[in-house]
Amino acid sequence: MRVVLINPRFRLPIDTRTTPHLGLAYLAAMSEQRGDEVRIYDADVEDQPLDEFMREFKPHVVGITANTPQVKQAWRHAEKIKAAWDVPIVLGGPHPSVESEELDFESARQPAVDLVVRGEGEETWMEICNRIEDFMRDQEDTSTAALMGANRGIWDNVLGISYKTADGALHRNLGRAAVDDLDSLPWPAYHLFRMDKYTNLQPATDNVDGSKSFSILTSRGCPYRCIFCSQSIMPIKWRSRTPENVLAEWKHLVEDLDAQEIGVLDDSANIRKKRLHTLADMLIENNLNHVPWIFVNGIRANLADYELMKKLKQAGLRRTAFGVETGNSQILRDIDKNIDLDTIRNAFKACKEVGLETIAFMIIGLPGETRETMQDTIDFAIELDPLIANFSMMTPYPGTKVWAQVKRQGRMLIHDWEDYVFFEQKARYEMGEMTAELVEEMYRKAYRQFYLRPGPIWRRVKSGDFWMNLPRNIRIAMRTFVPKAEKTGLRKKIEAEAIS
Ligand code: B12
Ligand code: SF4
């Protein structure tokens, strides 16, 4: 079959990172294994108009991914495709996977969307493709309307899907368990992406050739349940690949694809420390430690001791992020982070002792915050003194505990999925004594107080990467310290560009 997988256009016109979509890369690899002819259409980097591409390639099935701020664009893409070519359209990703808010049905209800996949998609995607192929083999009328016919029962027992039959009725099948044996999955199909079009992992900090920058996933899921974290595609059951299996892919990235940096995208890679020790030993033994790598999304600070960090540094780890979130111990307890401030201090200390760069993810405007607690967060970031402090505006994603809390006791200030990004400088909700003005003031103060200190300024200026990235760094500084004017028009700009 001819298969297309689409990442809807969402690159904000600011210097954010643009990397190949790993979820689509996994699905594409599964499809190739099935024997399909596969194309990735990443609207962020594609030149050819979508409708023209569809008419040329004539796919038998289209899959579109969507996180929350992307979902409306995903629907627009679906409409545009259906107008050009009659093909079943399947939506998946973190947003339509939020069952508690019926966001699967929200998407299935869209005229151009036929099926929605909830949760991890590899096995479900294969089953959908198999059923479509079987259907096409037997039928004279292979239209999407016939495929989705109410009485055909094609989709009755496919786990993990929600869908709309041709009569307009919505159906939700039972969920599918997350992939149990991660070693059984093929490696992401990077060869289908236009690698020269992407940025590196951290374009504001490093000057690495984007086409030589790759991501890897060594585990999935997270056993923690922080109240702000969107977990629709992140089962509580943490599963990991074996070190041998990770090593083989790592070798492929370095030796076959010439990787210059590798980003480990796991949510919580260090749940089992012994596994990481073994992987680190293997990277060293196989001389793969000359390529720097980064824990991009954070590891758990309570499981990042000196011995582990030292070994990882020897294995090529250059930088690691930690989800610090807040500098106030009561707020830290309230968000169910299951950690305390001293443990976080120790993790940063261990990293510094072994020479690792650090990133601290901080949130401004968590439930229950006051001016003082937000100041604690700024002060704590300054005390930890990471290379990068990333302050986010608390954005309550659907399906999270914070979302439910704000619905109950607060006031949401955004009502459009396209506003669910956290790098704009606008407060997303108000609750109790926490007003939008206060949160926005503290957010700006956080960046000013952290970055406009001699230490961080000097660190930046003395790094070669800073000078090689100078135009980008000036734009980022302007956006951060001279706020508003450019930012408020961001969403309008995306809408105006809509889909090409
Ligand atoms: C790496 C990452 C990024 C990277 C790269 C994103 C990318 N292009 O892949 C960057 C830094 C750019 C990023 C940005 C943002 N991210 Co992000 N990101 C992640 C992270 C940590 C890993 C993504 C990943 O590779 N997962 C592994 C792959 C295998 O999973 P997957 O992509 O979800 O795909 C699987 C399933 O979802 C499903 N599936 C997905 N699409 C489809 C399509 C079809 C047809 C089918 C059948 C199945 C299917 O099957 C896939 C295979 O199992 C996730 C957390 C997580 N655990 O996933 C957050 C996460 C996806 N990000 C999130 C958010 C909020 C954002 C931002 C909106 C934040 C912001 N700055 O405002 C932006 C959005 C920017 C954008 N352009 O879309 C949220 C999404 C929540 C939500 N409700 O949408 C997550 C879940 C984090 C969290 N727990 O809160 N992100
Ligand atoms: S924030 Fe991190 S530790 Fe907390 S639930 Fe999400 S992934 Fe797990």
Q: Let me know if residue 340 belongs to a domain.
A: yes
Is the residue at 311 inside a domain?
yes
Who's near 376: CB < 8 A, 6+ residues apart? 326, 327, 328, 331
Closest C-alpha residue for ligand 2 atom 4: 226
Mutate to test the pocket of ligand 2, among 267, 320, 390 (most ligand atoms within 8 A of CB): 267
Q: How far is the CA of 94 from the centre of ligand 1 (A)?
A: 6
129 in a domain, yes or no? yes
| Among 308, 364, 313, 373, CA closest to 341 | 373
Is the beta carbon of 422 within 6 A of some atom in ligand 1? yes
Q: Is 63 in the pocket of ligand 1 (CB under 6 A)?
A: yes
Whether 222 and 327 share a structural domain? yes
Helix (H) or strand (E) holding 214: strand 213-216
The residues that bridge with 358 in the sheet, in sequence order, are 320
Whether residue 239 is found in the same domain as residue 385: yes
Ligand 2 pocket by C-beta < 6 Å: which residues? 222, 224-226, 229, 267-268, 323
**67 and 212 both lie in a single domain:** no
Q: 256 is in which domain, residue-wise?
A: 199-497
What CATH number does residue 446 fall under?
3.80.30.20
Domain assignment present for 28:
yes
> How many angstroms does the Cα of residue 169 sit away from the middle of ligand 1?
29
* Interatomic CA distance for residues 459 and 155, integer angstroms: 57
Calculate how far, in angstroms, residue 349's C-alpha sits from the geometric centre of ligand 1.
30
- Asked which of 156, 172, 188 is the last residue of a domain, the reply is 172
Q: Are residues 155 and 257 located together in one domain of the fold?
A: no
Please check whether residues 392 and 276 belong to one and the same domain.
yes
CA 228 to centroid of ligand 2, rounded, Å? 9
Domain boundary among 122, 155, 172: 172
For residue 387, is it within any domain? yes
The dihedrals phi and psi of 83, each to the nearest 5 degrees, come to: -70, -25
> Ligand 1 pocket: which of 6, 9, 22, 241 to mutate (most atoms <8 Å of CB)?
22
- Shared domain for 23 and 144, answered yes or no, is yes
Sign of CA pseudo-dihedral 249, 269, 183, 161: negative
Which pLDDT score, from 0 to 100, does residue 453 have?
A: 86
The CA 286 to ligand 2 mean position distance, Å, reads: 32
Asked, for residue 38, whether it belongs to a domain, the answer is yes
Other C-beta atoms within 10 Å of 474: how many?
Answer: 10
Residues 270, 136 within the same domain: no
What residue's CA is closest to ligand 2, atom 7? 267
CATH number where 22 lies = 3.40.50.280
Ligand 1 atom closest to residue 117's alpha carbon, by position in its atom list: 47
The reply to whether ligand 1 has any atom less than 6 angstroms from the CB of 224 is: no
Q: What distance in angstroms lies between residue 23's CA and the mean position of ligand 1's atoms? A: 8
Residue 317: per-residue pLDDT: 98
> Could you tell me the two tokens for 65?
């991914």
202 lines ligand 1 (CB under 6 A): no
How is 91-158 classified by DSSP, letter by letter? EESTTTT-GGGTHHHHHHTSTT--EEE-S--HHHHHHHHHHHHHHHHH-S---HHHHT-TTT-TTTT-
How far does the centroid of ligand 1 lie from the alpha carbon of residue 21, in Å?
8
Ligand 1: centre distance to CA 459 (Å) = 31
Concatenating the DSSP letter of every residue in 367-408 gives TT--HHHHHHHHHHHHHH--SEEEEEE----TTSHHHHHHHH
**CA 459 – CA 461 distance, rounded (Å):** 6
Task: List average pLDDT for each run of 10 residues in the chain, which is 500 residues long.
Answer: 95 72 98 98 95 96 97 97 96 96 97 98 98 92 95 95 98 97 98 95 88 96 96 91 98 97 97 98 98 97 98 98 98 98 98 98 98 98 96 96 97 94 86 96 96 83 72 69 50 49
Do 120 and 56 reside in the same domain of the chain? yes
- Please state the atom number of ligand 2 nearest to the C-alpha of residue 337: 4
Total domain count, the chain:
2
Atom of ligand 2 nearest to the CA of 222: 8
Residues 318 and 441 placed together within one structural domain of the fold: yes
Closest ligand 1 atom number to CA of residue 128: 47
Q: ∠ at Cα 241 (240, 245), nearest 5°?
A: 165
Query: What's the pLDDT score for residue 14?
Result: 54
Degrees, nearest 5: CA angle 152-153-154: 95
Are 215 and 328 members of one domain?
Answer: yes
Residues 220 and 347 in one domain: yes
Distance 57 CA to ligand 2 centre (A): 40
Q: Is 21 a pocket residue for ligand 1 (Cβ < 6 Å)?
A: yes
Among protein residues, the one whose CA lies closest to atom 31 of ligand 1? 23
Looking at the domain assignment, is residue 184 inside a domain?
no
Statement to judge: residues 164 and 126 lie in one domain: yes
Integer angstrom CA distances of residue 465 from 184, 295, 417: 39, 19, 35
In a domain, 183, yes or no: no
Residue that is written with structure tokens 């020479």 in the block: 355
Ligand 1 centroid, distance to 417 Cα (angstroms) = 15
